[in-house]
Amino acid sequence: MSIYQVNEKGFYGQFGGAYIPEMLHPNIEELRLNYLKIINEPDFKTEFDQLLRDFVGRPTPLYFAKRLSERYKAKVYLKREDLCHTGAHKINNTIGQILVAKRLGKQKIIAETGAGQHGVATATVCALMGMECIVYMGQLDIDRQRPNVERMRILGAKVVPATSGNMTLKDATNEAMRHWINHPTDTHYIIGSVVGPHPYPDMVARFQSVISEEIKHQLSMEIGNPFPDYVIACVGGGSNAAGAFYHFLNDEHVNLVGVEAAGKGVNSGESAATTALGKIGVLHGSKSLLMQTEDGQVIEPYSISAGLDYPGIGPMHAHLFETGRVKFLSVTDDEAMNAGIELSRTEGIIPAIETAHAIAALQQMELDADDVVVINLSGRGDKDLETYIRWGKY
Amino acid sequence: MENMANRINTLFQKKKEKILSVFFTAGFPKLEDTIPIAVELEKSGADLIEIGIPFSDPIADGPVIQDSNKIALDNGMNLKLLLQQVKEIRKTVKLPILLMGYINPVMQYGIESFIKDSKAAGVDGFILPDLPMAEYEDQFKVLVEENELVNVFLISPTTSEERIRKIDGVSNGFIYAVSSSSTTGTKTGFTNEQELYFKKLSEMKLKNPFLIGFGVSNKETFTAVTKFATGAIIGSAFIKLLKSSSNLSTDIHDFVNNLN
């Protein structure tokens, strides 16, 4: 077994595990005992693959970005997850999890959301499957991501404001976990990233791994070789990065680059660069790197991108950071916004601001003309128009 | 000094019914209130004190205890300060004291220091709801037992009988039986189904006594669960009282005395 994958105890190196109160134990245990069996069943695979193809629109293109390549003097490819139905990679995971939930006999779905992308992806698959859907969202995020709130409501989901703590993603996750504690038998919790107690990080990574599976196949067709020199992805909790890295983890000659949000600067006090600022700790059921005070209180992160302002990273990424398998860079708000405008004008693609962080990382890299670079274009910028407008420098 | 037996074990040897354990958050409503609250609880006749270590993200708690955690943190409470307060409490208070909290602040303090400093301050045991049993056995158990402390595990109505037996085997003080699948302070009163669960527990003849918590808030509910269990734990209802109280001494006295 790969040293980069989860072990039989639910750990990636020293990170991971299931740090949950007893009330959640039966749910997590049910999932742990069944998830691999379910997702390896032929009828599951058939249904999952068919929905990814016909409903999500997979495979997503691997697009050679000619003008961006000229600018950075390398061969830059964009993996177009922004073309997935609902506008981001998030739906790969929600399709997978709702099929698992159905097979576990669950009737109701809960989810947390920050910017609303995972909430919309969850509301979408619940509509598709006719299941009741409740999405927890921080009150502050509800106020600043209105269009996504309305999208969820149009899709029939109930959006519940999380009014505890700082009223953002971390608090929405707390509320979703509390809801699950109070409704343990009929409800499945669709976590949106590679975070949470084991087996969530592994399960979500597996559903997102279709991204790197396709990249390998598409690169083989395009350049006659499945291995790029670099794969770059942004990291909040880390689900799109987990998917983009997954099938390259053992190909050590492929350089993997995770890009975190530095906010107003890594040391500005307003940042979400977890690998730079975090220490080992436990939040939302797993041990990972965590932004926290000396006393172990979780620090509220900041980024202009609502999808990256999470105080931790998935345990798999903490392990990849610690082992040096993935190199982590960080990008400020301004650098990301500029990169978003740059991609819009060189390639005609307005990226999500999360994704713009991955584009901005190109400036920090020393590339050779024949280097093949794949950037995971995890989401589109429609949801971020307000932020682009407010930023204004275009 | 008393003999070396842990105060918790001594309590359960002496008293076989209607044990009252009261939970409150350290540093709430005011930073220094931890001490007078503990003193008043002893004076009023409580049997056991559970002091909550505040945490920014208490996922097993309902709104009342969440709010008390936030206020305590805003007041500047932390584990180091709490242990100093316990030392102060121990100058007069003889009741067993448990610290209850989430694992992350404990990890940051350092597991070994936490256990040793707790012992030195006069703590008798811990309740750490998000500490997995395997990790307890790996990293806590030896130190906890060497220091003659007690570790309390939770069980809930969805915990399997096999797992209850396993938890009973690892426990060395009492078991915290959560009355329903819920966060703290969200339900009150008990259904027939819950009573069947309590009855089943009492018929399992566990080696450890069990106390029932969650949903116990007044005389009626206290009486109802202590028919089945050695005692009960009151948390959210007490926190509510503290928040609205203008005279802690009288209000705590009345609260405890109204339970029996």
Tell me which chain A residue has its CA closest to the CA of residue B64.
Answer: A164
CB atoms within 10 A of CB B211: 25
Distance from CA of A189 to the nearest CA of B (A): 14
Closest C-alpha among A373, A330, A368, A375 to residue A349: A375
Right CATH for B19-257 from 1.10.1040.10, 3.20.20.70, 3.40.50.620, 3.30.930.10: 3.20.20.70
Task: Share the mean pLDDT of chain A.
Answer: 96
Q: How confident is the model over B27-68, as pLDDT tens digits? A: 999 999 999 999 999 999 999 999 999 999 999 999 999 999
The reply to whether ipTM tops 0.90 is yes
Q: CB of A139 within 8 A of CB of A164? A: no
Q: pLDDT at position B224, please?
A: 95
Q: Which helix (H) or strand (E) holds A287?
A: strand A286-290
Q: Which of A79, A90, A106, A287 is catalytic?
A: A90
Read off the pLDDT band of A332 (50, 70, 90).
very high
Cβ <8 Å between A295 and B129:
no
Q: Provide the whole-model pTM.
A: 0.97
Q: CB of A115 within 8 A of CB of A305? A: yes
Task: Find the mean pLDDT for residues A384-388.
Answer: 92
Q: Using a CB-CB distance cutoff of 8 angstroms, which residues of chain A are in contact with residue B61?
A: 178
Q: How confident is the model over B93-132, as pLDDT tens digits? A: 999 999 999 999 999 999 999 999 999 999 999 999 999 9
For the stretch B93-117, what's the b/e string if a residue is b when 16 or more beta carbons lie within 10 angstroms of its beta carbon? bebbbbbbbbbbbbbbbebeebbeb
Cβ <8 Å between A297 and B103:
no
Percentage of chain A lying above the pLDDT 70 cut: 100
Closest C-alpha among A285, A381, A276 to residue A336: A381
Q: pLDDT at position B4, please?
A: 57
Tell me which chain A residue has its CA closest to the CA of residue B187.
Answer: A182
Of the residues B74, B106, B108, B155, the best mutation for testing chain A's interface (the one with the most A CB atoms within 10 Å of its CB) is: B108
Distance from CA of B176 to the nearest CA of A (A): 10
Query: What angle do the packed helices B248-257 and B34-44 form, to 10 degrees?
Result: 40
Distance from CA of B89 to the nearest CA of A (A): 22
Any idea where the domains of chain B sit in the sequence?
A: 19-257
Q: Which helix (H) or strand (E) holds A181?
A: helix A169-182
Q: How confident is the model over A11-46, as pLDDT tens digits? A: 999 999 999 999 999 999 999 999 999 999 999 999
CB atoms within 10 A of CB A269: 11
Beta-bridge mates of residue A255: A230
Cβ <8 Å between B59 and A177:
yes
Q: Which of A69, A209, A288, A378 is catalytic?
A: A378
Q: What is the rounded distance in angstroms from the CA atom of residue A10 to the CA atom of residue B135?
A: 12
Q: Using a CB-CB distance cutoff of 8 angstroms, which residues of chain A are in contact with residue B57?
A: 165, 170, 174, 283-284, 298
Residue showing tokens 């409503």: B29
Percentage of chain A lying above the pLDDT 90 cut: 94
Kindly compute the dihedral angle of the four CA atoms of residues A316, A317, A318, A321, in this order, to the nearest 10 degrees: 130
Strand order in the sheet with A15-16: A11-12, A15-16, A286-290, A279-283
Kindly tell me the sign of the dihedral angle through the C-alpha atoms of A41, A55, A199, A242. Answer: positive
Q: pLDDT at position A164, please?
A: 85
Of the residues A169, A171, A291, A295, the best mutation for testing chain B's interface (the one with the most B CB atoms within 10 Å of its CB) is: A295
Choose among A165, A182, A280: nearest Cβ to B182.
A182
From the centroid of its chain, how far is CA B107? 19
Read off the pLDDT band of B3 (50, 70, 90).
very low
Active site residue A81: no
Residue type, A282: V
Q: How confident is the model over A178-216, as pLDDT tens digits? A: 999 999 899 999 999 999 999 999 999 999 999 999 999
Q: pLDDT at position A116, please?
A: 93
SS3 of chain B: the string is CCCCCCHHHHHHHHCCCCEEEEEEECCCCCHHHHHHHHHHHHHHCCCEEEEEECCCCCCCECHHHHHHHHHHHHHCCCHHHHHHHHHHHHCCCCCCEEEEECHHHHHHHCHHHHHHHHHHHCCCEEECCCCCHHHHHHHHHHHHHHCCCEEECEECCCCCHHHHHHHHHHCCCCEEEECCCCCECCCCCCCHHHHHHHHHHHHCCCCCCEEEECCCCCHHHHHHHHCCCCEEEECHHHHHHHHHCCCHHHHHHHHHHCCC
Of the residues B158, B159, B236, the best mutation for testing chain A's interface (the one with the most A CB atoms within 10 Å of its CB) is: B158
Q: pLDDT at position B2, please?
A: 42
Q: pLDDT at position A309, please?
A: 87
Active site residue A271: no
Distance from CA of A134 to the nearest CA of B (A): 18
